[in-house]
Amino acid sequence: MKFRCERDDLLGAVQFASRAISNRATLPVLSGLRLEAAEDGLVRVAATDLELTMETAFVAAVDEPGKAIVPGRLFGEMSRNLSSGQVSVAGTEGEVEIGSGRGRFRVRSLTPDDYPALPIEDRDDSAGVQVTLDAGELATALSQVVRAASGDESRQILTGVLWELESGRVTLAATDSYRLAVRSLEASGGPDEDRKVVLPARTLGELARALQGATGSVSALVKENLVAFSIPGAGDDQGGEWTIGSRFIEGEFPKYRQLIPEAYPNTLVVDRELLLEVTRRVGLLAQNNLPVKLQLANELEISAHTPDVGEGQEVIEAEYNGESLVIAFNPQFLIDGASAISSQRIEMQVGDGLKPAILRGETGDFTYLLMPVRLS
């Protein structure tokens, strides 16, 4: 393998693919990056931990097609510290040489035969369901929903996000048992029969990161046990697209729709930015996992009290229809839900101080269900 390219093209590809390298790699070879130079002038850079796979490509002057596995972290640091301009990469038996200016650097390479086949390499579209989504809308949906996924590995199914696929529509849902986030968005294509899959939140976090500033469409190829997202235009000037693939999380996702009531008798409408600002301010006095309390009446009073620390309260204008009541929430969960809503005003529906509250924006395509904290 031997090719010449611009340092920035190589660095961008390496930084993207390296995010699939896990610090807990089960096989030493999975700590490597796969470089593959092809006769058509494309260099593909990929990495996988067998669950998450990330691959991209860029245009280069390929002198000798071939493949090499390089130490991922080290090669990434080397690429970042090379001087700008043209660099050369040449792989021989057991090592890879990088040339930059008058410098020459060699690193030991790993055996290509030991590197597993990438799960996304089977690109037969007929073997799966194709779904196309607007890149900007998907990025927004992911930012709203992924935050509600659990970080507790003992309940692995809750560390993922449910994708409900139907013709012309995709619904995303995530819960950690304390809150639930649900977002629906329009799509092109889809299965003939409704299908549900659960994708790791880690994968979708990387997808959201890759979609920052992206325009156009994102295609998802959903197969029997994995999905591959293709983001065209991410690297058009380098000749390729970004691909993120992931295996599904096996298990039964909670029947979340049963948790969402059709309506509550008490409704609060409040300015989003004002609610966030005051909750952050008052929430400073809710320490040691104590909640903030919301007194719902003609005005909204937000208060917090931590013994031996202090207390705070603030009143803001709001529109309220219902009986006066007090409900308490984890302040960070409340902030997460309010900040995920993009409209100027938030509608909060509550039953009483023990039933979960519903937060929605003015568009109605995003729902955030939040469990209250029981007051002693």
d(CA 143, CA 149): 11
Question: What does the DSSP 8-state code read for residue 190?
Answer: -
Instruction: Answer whether residue 155 shows pLDDT above 50.
Output: yes
Return phi, psi of residue 75, to 5°. Answer: -65, -35
The model's confidence at residue 164, banded by pLDDT at 50, 70 and 90, is very high
Could you give the C-alpha distances from 136 to 142, 143, 215, 359, in angstroms and in order? 10, 11, 6, 22
pLDDT for position 113: 86
pTM of the model: 0.91
Does 62 score more than 60 pLDDT? yes
91-108: pLDDT as tens digits: 988 899 999 988 899 999
Residue 120 has pLDDT above 90, yes or no: no
Look at the chain and count its residues. Answer: 376
> Using CA atoms, how far apart are residues 274 and 21, in angstroms rounded to an integer?
41
Residue ranges of alpha helices (H) inside the chain are 7-18, 72-81, 135-145, 201-210, 272-283, 331-340
Range 299-320 average pLDDT: 96
Segments in 190-283 forming alpha helices (H): 201-210, 272-283
Task: Choose between 72 and 233: higher pLDDT.
Answer: 72
CA angle in degrees (0–180, nearest 5) for 347-352-356? 65
**Domains along the chain?**
2-119 (3.10.150.10), 123-257 (3.10.150.10), 260-370 (3.10.150.10)
How does the average pLDDT of the chain come out, rounded?
A: 92
Which helix (H) or strand (E) segment holds residue 91: the answer is strand 86-92
Say what the pLDDT of residue 235 is: 47
How far is the CA of 231 from the CAs of 55, 139, 208, 220, 248, in angstroms?
Answer: 11, 12, 11, 9, 20
First to last CA, the chain: 68
Structure tokens, 261: 């009531």
For the segment 5-49, what is each residue's pLDDT rounded down to a tens digit?
999 999 999 999 999 998 776 788 899 999 999 999 999 999 999
